[in-house]
């Protein structure tokens, strides 16, 4: 009995010290090397839980990528294809998504701090429960996006299309303040 208890305690200790990575290390390496996640077998890139910091992923193809609970900071996705990407629970800080395709992307419960969507296409993207602070949607295509129930502070919608007057909080400015 003593040995069984000792074995269970040792197993619990070992299991508690294992750091589980939800993302596939091969996908991350392929992304960093080729800037593409999709393989010839039509699988999507699974980077759930990954940390993407100080990267230049301009022109990357991450269509339908799974980026749930990622931490993305000081990273550029200029002109990237992120159509259908899932950023549920992701944390963004100092991220450039200018001219990026984000049609049907999911930002559910995401935190976006100082993110630039200048000229991005975010048609039908979902921002349910997201927090946006210091976010720029200048000249972005926002048709079909509902910002009305979000926490938005210092958000700029200047020149953006599809913005409804009730989409902006008191501290927002630009297109919504006509």
Compute the radius of gyration of the chain from its Cα atoms: 19
Domains in the chain (CATH in brackets) are 21-173 (2.160.20.80)
Q: Inform me whether the pLDDT recorded for 100 exceeds 70.
A: yes
- pLDDT bin (cut points 50, 70, 90) of residue 7 is very low
pLDDT of amino acid 101:
97
**Mean per-residue pLDDT, 7-11:** 38
Mean pLDDT rounded to a whole number for the chain: 78
pLDDT of amino acid 43:
46
Q: How far is CA 54 from CA 15, 51, 97, 120, 168, in A?
A: 31, 10, 14, 21, 31
SS (H, E, C) 134-169: CCECCCCECCCCCCCCCEEECCECCCCECCCHHHCC
Burial track 108-130 (b if 16+ CB lie within 10 A, e otherwise): ebbbbbbbbbbbbbbbebbbeeb
**Mean per-residue pLDDT, 143-162:** 85
- Cβ atoms of 62 and 78 within 8 Å: the answer is no
Cα 11 to Cα 47: distance, rounded to the nearest angstrom: 28
pLDDT of amino acid 9:
39
pLDDT of amino acid 15:
34
In sequence order, the β-bridge partners of residue 66 are 46, 86
Helix (H, G, I), strand (E, B) or coil at 5: helix
- pLDDT bin (cut points 50, 70, 90) of residue 41 is very low
Tokens found for residue 130: 């997201």
Q: Are strands 71-76 and 131-133 parallel, antiparallel or unpaired?
A: unpaired
**Mean per-residue pLDDT, 99-116:** 97
């Amino acid at each position: 009995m003593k040995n069984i208890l000792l074995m269970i305690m040792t197993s619990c200790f070992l299991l508690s010290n294992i750091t589980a990575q939800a993302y596939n290390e091969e996908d991350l390496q392929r992304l960093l090397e080729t800037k593409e996640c999709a393989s010839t077998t039509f699988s999507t890139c699974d980077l759930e839980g990954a940390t993407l910091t100080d990267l230049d992923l301009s022109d990357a193809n991450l269509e339908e990528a799974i980026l749930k609970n990622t931490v993305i900071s000081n990273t550029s996705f200029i002109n990237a294809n992120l159509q259908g990407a899932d950023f549920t629970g992701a944390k963004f800080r100092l991220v450039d998504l200018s001219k990026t395709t984000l049609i049907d992307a999911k930002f559910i419960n995401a935190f976006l701090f100082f993110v630039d969507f200048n000229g991005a296409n975010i048609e039908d993207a979902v921002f349910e429960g997201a927090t946006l602070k210091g976010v720029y949607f200048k000249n972005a295509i926002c048709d079909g996006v509902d910002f009305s129930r979000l926490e938005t502070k210092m958000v700029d919608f200047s020149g953006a299309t599809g913005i409804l007057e009730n989409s902006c909080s008191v501290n927002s400015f630009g297109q919504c303040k006509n």
